[in-house]
Amino acid sequence: MLKDAYSIPFEARIYQSYLSGIKNHWRTSLYQQVIKEVSNLQTTNIDEIESSMLSSPSYQLYAWQERMTQQFKYIGRGGIKTILEKSRKELLDILQSAGQVNPERLKLNPSCELPDYVGGFDVHQVPGGLGKDALNTWLMVWYQKGLTFAGGNPDALVEWYADLIAKLAKDANANASKVLDLGCTLGRSTMAIKKKMPSAEVFGCDVCEYPLRYGHLFAIENGIDITLCQENAEKLTFKDKTFDIVASHWLFHELPPDAAANVIHEAARVLNPGGIFVIYDMCKVPGGAIGEWLHKGMAIRNNEPYALPLIHTDLTKIMKEAGFKNIQFKTTSPDWPKDTEPSELMKSRYMFMNMYSGIIQKI
């Protein structure tokens, strides 16, 4: 049912492939030219770097393409949302059908309100935001079938994340019978965990209702036994000491610093003694001032206002305050599987992923 929910017209395929070509030029040749120019500057202050580069034609084009190719992907003649709007009623009817089969595996909470940092603006430049317009669930489905904003394969990213969690549990000789995946949106990361840890009882939670509806339908259709719950990760409704592992994939760069701290403390509360907590996100960037400058530009141009504060947030300190021990940090992703930290930027624009992990102290 889901795979045949909508069709992509030939004109839209041409439109999207054209944008992919622009994006590949942006993240390779144009990016390399910008890095070459900025490397000649005699400053490590990111505001001074920005001021110096404003007159560069290469940087002007780089900045324009970084923002506008994302917009064009969604709107315009062959934009994702433009195409989906033609089937709005049919697509929303499909989402409304979620829960008719295995209703115990979809737990929606009508009183769960969207925080301002989710529903208050067009995050990722998605028109209408991810939480307010139900049709944007299908928009997310479409664009996650291809390359991410940073050019990575989305399936590789969630599979890598699941591998990391399974390895952590094995290395710590930890019980892993009950797992919670925070901020799961469509449940792709939750399903990856279940596939990697088939004997575990796996839960995914998100504050947005309609992505969970889709994830439930997809899991049922593909025979993946997970439970999806509508929850605010800052104030979970689960009882104390419920889970053996609590993890998050690309959630923390969407959170204001105070919300991030609340989520960490909630994770500590719902973990069993000896349980493992994992944050997988863009927590640190390589490349010194240039890397931070690029990251700040991405955050502003792609409507991700909390991505920059995250790299300056002392997550280790917050985790210690929440009661975590054996806190580890490393940079690790499919395109950087090494044990060493990168000392410089890659030759194409790439979002480095980092992992924080900790074990809640045993009583």
Percent of the chain whose predicted confidence (pLDDT) is above 90:
83
Provide the CATH number for the domain around residue 324. 3.40.50.150
Write the DSSP string, 243-311.
EEEEEEES-GGGS-HHHHHHHHHHHHHHEEEEEEEEEEE----SSHHHHHHHHHHHHHHTT-TTHHHHH
Average pLDDT, the chain: 93
Q: Which residue has the tokens 């506008």?
A: 68
In a domain, 294, yes or no: yes
The DSSP code for 336 is B
- Spatial separation of the C-alpha atoms in residues 8 and 13, rounded to whole Å: 7
Predicted confidence at residue 152, as pLDDT, reads 61
Q: What is the DSSP string of 282-295?
A: ----SSHHHHHHHH
- pTM assigned to the model: 0.95
Tens-digit pLDDT profile for residues 189-208 = 999 999 999 999 999 999 99
- As for how many domains the chain has, the answer is 1
Q: What is the pLDDT of residue 363?
A: 47
* Residue 150 clears pLDDT 90, i.e. is over it: no
> Following CA atoms 284, 289, 293, 295 in sequence, which dihedral angle do they give, to the nearest 10 degrees?
-10
In a domain, 338, yes or no: yes
- Helices of type H across the chain: 10-25, 31-38, 46-53, 57-74, 80-85, 88-96, 116-119, 129-132, 136-143, 154-171, 188-196, 209-221, 257-270, 288-301, 307-311, 315-322
Does a structural domain hold residue 27?
no
Q: Which domain holds residue 217?
A: 154-360
For residue 59, the model assigns a pLDDT of 98
The model's pLDDT over 156-192, given as tens digits with 9 standing for 90+, comes to 889 999 999 999 999 999 889 999 999 999 999 999 9
pLDDT at 283: 96
Q: How many Å apart are CA 70 and CA 75, to the nearest integer?
A: 9
Average pLDDT estimate for 142-159: 72
- 146 pLDDT band, cuts 50/70/90, is low
355 occurs within a structural domain: yes
Domain assignment of residue 197, yes or no: yes
* Domain assignment present for 168: yes
- Does the residue 85 lie in any domain? no
